[in-house]
A and B are shown apart, each in its own frame.
Chain A
Amino acid sequence: KAGVTQTPRYLIKTRGQQVTLSCSPISGHRSVSWYQQTPGQGLQFLFEYFSETQRNKGNFPGRFSGRQFSNSRSEMNVSTLELGDSALYLCASSFNPGQTIFSYEQYFGPGTRLTVT
C-alpha cells in the first residue's frame, strides 16, 4: 500500500502571500488530520476531516483552513502568511479515529516545509 503523500515538500513564500498544501491519504483511509510542527511548540493539531466534513479544529486563527474531497484527498490553505507560520506541516491519515481503540493510529506523510520570508 502506498503511504501518505504530501506536495510540495518544500515551499518558500513571502509575508502576505497565501499557500495551499496537498495531502493524499493511504487508500481506504477516510480521515485526514493536519498538524503544524515547530521546535518550540511541538506538534499542534490544526483540523481533522472525515468524509469531507471537518470534525475537529485546533486553536488556530481563521487564516488556516482546509477541505477534503470525495476521494479523501485533502488540502489546507494559509492566507496572509506571517513569519510565524514557518513550520513543518504534517498530514496524517487514519481509517476512522474513535471507531475502535486502534483506529486512533495515524500514518504521517513526510511533511511540507514552509518558510515564510
Chain B
Amino acid sequence: TQLLEQSPQFLSIQEGENLTVYCNSSSVFSSLQWYRQEPGEGPVLLVTVVTGGEVKKLKRLTFQFGDARKDSSLHITAAQPGDTGLYLCAGGGGGSNYKLTFGKGTLLTVNP
C-alpha cells in the first residue's frame, strides 16, 4: 500500500511569516501534485513536479521534488490570509496505474 504522509497536520501562523509543509513516502512516484482546497470546495491543482530535484515557483510558493522522487515540500514566503486552506499532496504512477495517492493534508490558517 502506498502512503503519502504530510506534516504538519495543522499550522496556524501570522501574516507575513514563512512556512514549509512536507510530503513523504517510501514509494517512488513518477509525478507529484500539490492541491489547495478551500472550505466547501474541491481541491484546485497548484503544480505538478516530475523530475527528481525539480524546483518550481508559483509567486510566493516554492515546490520541490526530492532527488529520489519519494518526497516533496511546499514553502510559502510571507504568507497572506488568502493562503489559508487545506494543502494536499498527491502522487501518481507509483505502481498503481490510473489513480493518485493523496496525503491527508496540512490545514493552514494565516491570521491577519
Tier of interface size on chain A: 20 to 34
Nearest B residue to A109, CB-CB: B42
- Report if A97-B42 is in contact (Cβ < 8 Å); known contacts: A48-B98, A105-B48: no
A104 and B100: CB pair below 8 A?
yes
Within 8 A of B (CB), among A42-63: 42-43, 45, 48, 50, 55-56
Q: How far is the CB of B56 from chain A (nearest CB, A)?
A: 13
- Report if A104-B93 is in contact (Cβ < 8 Å); known contacts: A42-B102, A97-B98: yes
Q: Which residues of chain A come closer than 8 Å to B90, judged between CB atoms? A: 104, 106
A101 and B99: CB pair below 8 A?
no
* B31 interface contact, C-beta 8 A: yes
Within 8 A of B (CB), among A24-73: 31, 33, 35, 41-43, 45, 48, 50, 55-56
Q: Which residues of chain A come closer than 8 Å to B92, judged between CB atoms? A: 97-98, 101, 104
* A4 interface contact, C-beta 8 A: yes
Q: Which residues of chain B come closer than 8 Å to A31, judged between CB atoms? A: 98
